[in-house]
Structure 1
Amino acid sequence: MDATQQDATARARELQRSWYGEPLGALFRRLIDDLGLNQARLASVLGLSAPMLSQLMSGQRAKIGNPAVVQRVQALQELSSQVADGRVSAAEAAVRMEEIKKTAGGSVLNTQATASTGAPTVRRVVREIQSLLRSVAAAGDIIDAAESLTATHPELAEFLRVYGAGRTADAVAHYEAHQS
Structure 2
Amino acid sequence: MAIESQRERNALNQQRQRALYGAPLGERVHRLVAVLQISQARLAKALGMSPAMLSQLVSGRRVKIGDPTVLARLLELDRRIDELRRPVPDSTVEALLDEVAAMRWSGAGDPADAGTARAAADALRRLTDPGRLAAAADALSPAFPELADVLREAAR
Which band: TM-score by shorter chain? 0.5 to 0.7
The one of 104, 109, 118 equivalent to 1:112 is 118
**Gaps (5+ residues) in structure 2?**
125-156
Q: Alignment RMSD, CA only?
A: 2.4
TM-score scaled to structure 2, two decimals? 0.66
Aligned residue number for residue 9 of structure 2: 8
* Stretches of 4+ aligned residues off by more than 3 angstroms: none
**Aligned partners of 2:28 and 2:119: how far apart in 1?**
23
Compare the two structures and name the one with the higher helix fraction: 2
The one-letter amino acid paired with 2:30 is R
Identity %: 34
8 Å CA contact retained: 1:79, 1:93? no
**Aligned partners of 2:29 and 2:86: how far apart in 1?**
21
- Post-superposition Cα deviations, 1:96-122, rounded to whole Å, max 9, x if no partner, equal 21011012223323521178x629xxx
**Aligned partners of 2:88 and 2:58: how far apart in 1?**
27
**Gaps (5+ residues) in structure 1?**
120-180
8 Å CA contact retained: 2:48, 2:70? yes
CA 1:88–1:114: 2 relative to 1, 3 Å: farther
- Determine helix, strand or coil for the equivalent of 2:119: coil
CA 1:76–1:58: 2 relative to 1, 3 Å: same
CA 1:32–1:114: 2 relative to 1, 3 Å: farther
CA 1:29–1:19: 2 relative to 1, 3 Å: same
1:51-66 equivalence runs, <5 A: 51-66=52-67
- Determine helix, strand or coil for the equivalent of 2:118: coil
**Aligned partners of 1:54 and 1:88: how far apart in 2?**
25
Give the CA deviation at 1:2: 1.9
**Aligned partners of 1:81 and 1:34: how far apart in 2?**
9
TM-score scaled to structure 1, two decimals? 0.58
Matched, 1:76 2:70: no
Which structure has the bigger radius of gyration?
A: 2
CA 1:89–1:35: 2 relative to 1, 3 Å: closer
Give the CA deviation at 1:88: 10
